[in-house]
Amino acid sequence: MTSTPLQDSATTPASAATPPVAKKVPLERTHHGDTFVDNYEWLRDKESAEVVEHLKAENAYQEAVTAHQEPLREAIFQEIKGRTQETDLSVPHRKDGWWYYSRSVEGKEYGIQCRVKAADTGDRTADWTPPAVEPGVAIPGEEVLLDGNVEAEGKPFFSVGGSAVTVDGNLYAYAVDNSGDERFTLRIKDLRTGELLPDVIENVFYGVSFSPDGARIFYTVVDDSWRPHQVKAHVLGTPVTEDVVIYQEDDAAMWLGFELSADRRYLVLGIGCSEYSETRLLRFDDPSETVRTVISRNERVLYEAEPFLLDGPDGQKTERILLTHNRGAINSMVSLADPAELEKPLAQQQWQTVVEHSDDVRVNGAGVTATHLIVSIRKDTIERVQVMGLAGLGTPAQQAPVEPAFDEELYTAGVSGSDYEAPVIRLGYTSYFTPSRVYDFVLPTPERPAGELLLRKESPVLGGYDGSNYVATREWATAADGTRIPLSVLRHKSIKQDSTAAGLVYGYGSYELSMDPGFGIARLSLLDRGVVFVIAHIRGGGELGRHWYEDGKKLTKKNTFTDFIAATDWLAGSGWVDPARIAALGGSAGGLLMGAVANMAPEKYAAIVAQVPFVDPLTSILDPDLPLSALEWEEWGNPITDPQAYEYMKSYSPYENVREVAYPKIAAVTSFNDTRVLYVEPAKWVQELRNRTAGSEPILMKIEMDGGHGGASGRYVQWRERAWDYAFIADSLGATELLPGAGLK
Q: Which domains does the chain have, with CATH numbers?
A: 470-732 (3.40.50.1820)
What DSSP designation does 400 have?
Answer: P
Is residue 573 within 8 Å of 543, Cβ to Cβ? no
Mean pLDDT of the chain: 92
Q: In the prediction, which pLDDT does 290 show? A: 86
Nearest by Cα to 510 from 542, 474, 556? 542
Q: Where are the alpha helices (DSSP H) in 129-196?
A: 148-152
Phi and psi at residue 664, in whole multiples of 5°? -75, 180
pLDDT at 7: 34
Residue environment code for 178-190, b if the CB has 16+ CB neighbours within 10 A, otherwise e? bbbbbbbebbbbe
* CA–CA gap between residue 209 and residue 217 (Å, rounded): 6
H or E element at residue 498: none
pLDDT in the model for residue 3: 35
Beta pairing class for 531-536 and 484-492? antiparallel
Q: What confidence category does residue 640 fall into, taking pLDDT thresholds of 50, 70 and 90? A: very high
**β-sheet bridge partners, residue 337:** 321
Q: State the pLDDT confidence band at 716, using cuts at 50, 70 and 90.
A: confident
Our separate counts of H helices and E strands in the chain read 13, 39
Residue 286, pLDDT above cutoff 90: no
Residue from 161, 160, 142 nearest 151 by CA:
160
Q: Are 561 and 597 in contact (CB under 8 A)?
A: yes
Q: Which residue has the higher pLDDT, 139 or 600?
A: 600
Lowest mean pLDDT among 258-267, 406-415, 496-505: 406-415
Half-sphere exposure of 569 (CA within 13 A, CB side): 13
pLDDT number for residue 514: 95
Q: Would you place residue 242 in the very low, low, confident or very high pLDDT band (cuts 50, 70, 90)?
A: very high
pLDDT at 661: 98
The CA-based angle 110-115-121, given to 5 degrees, is: 155
What is the mean predicted confidence (pLDDT) over 189-208? Answer: 95
131-140, 361-370, 445-454: which has the minimum mean pLDDT? Answer: 131-140
pLDDT in the model for residue 360: 94
Sign of CA dihedral 322, 324, 327, 328: positive
In degrees, to the nearest 5, what angle opens at C-alpha 378 toward C-alphas 296 and 470? 145
Place 288 in a pLDDT band, splitting at 50, 70 and 90.
confident
User: What is the per-residue pLDDT for 10?
Assistant: 42
Q: How many CA atoms lie within 13 A of 191 on its CB side?
A: 22
Per-residue model confidence as pLDDT tens digits over 523-537: 999 999 999 999 999
pLDDT over 70 at 5, yes or no: no
Q: 311-320 long-range CB contacts below 8 Å, 24 or more apart? A: 311/390, 311/391
The pLDDT assigned to 334 comes to: 98
Q: Hey, which residues are catalytic here?
A: 588, 674, 709
Query: Which pLDDT score, from 0 to 100, does residue 16 have?
Result: 56
Reported as a pLDDT band with limits 50, 70 and 90, residue 627 is low
> Rounded CA gap, 609 and 160, in Å?
28
How many other C-beta atoms can be found within 10 angstroms of the C-beta atom of residue 436?
Answer: 16
How far is Cα 715 from Cα 467, in angstroms, rounded to an integer?
A: 24
Nearest Cα to Cα of residue 408 among 468, 495, 452, 491: 468
Report the pLDDT value the prediction gives residue 386, as an integer from 0 to 100.
96
pLDDT at 624 over 80: no
* Mean pLDDT, residues 422-444: 95
∠370-373-376 over CA atoms, to 5°? 135
* Distance from the Cα of residue 450 to its chain's centroid: 32
b/e 487-496 (16+ beta carbons within 10 angstroms → b):
bbbbbbeebe
Please, what sign has the CA dihedral across residues 355, 360, 366, 372? negative
* Beta-strand pair 470-478/484-492: antiparallel
1 pLDDT tier (thresholds 50, 70, 90)? very low
Q: Identify which of 96, 84, 91 has the alpha carbon closest to the alpha carbon of residue 114.
A: 91
Indicate the pLDDT class of residue 713, thresholds 50, 70 and 90. low
198 CB contacts (<8 Å, ≥6 apart)?
none
- Calpha distance 692→650 (Å, rounded): 18
Q: What is the residue type of 668?
A: A
Residues 138 and 120 sit within 8 Å (Cβ to Cβ): no
- Looking at residue 222, its pLDDT comes to 92
- Secondary structure (3-state) at 68: helix
Question: How confident is the model over 361-384, as pLDDT tens digits?
Answer: 999 999 999 999 999 999 989 999
**Quick one: average pLDDT of 120-136?**
89
pLDDT given for residue 8 in this prediction: 39
CA angle 719, 721, 724 (to 5 degrees): 110
Work out the pLDDT band at 675, boundaries 50, 70, 90.
Answer: low
Angle at 604 between CA 598 and CA 605, to 5 degrees: 65
Query: Model confidence at 257, in pLDDT bands (50, 70, 90)?
Result: very high
Residue 21: Cβ-neighbour burial (10 angstroms; 0-12, 13-18, 19+) = middle
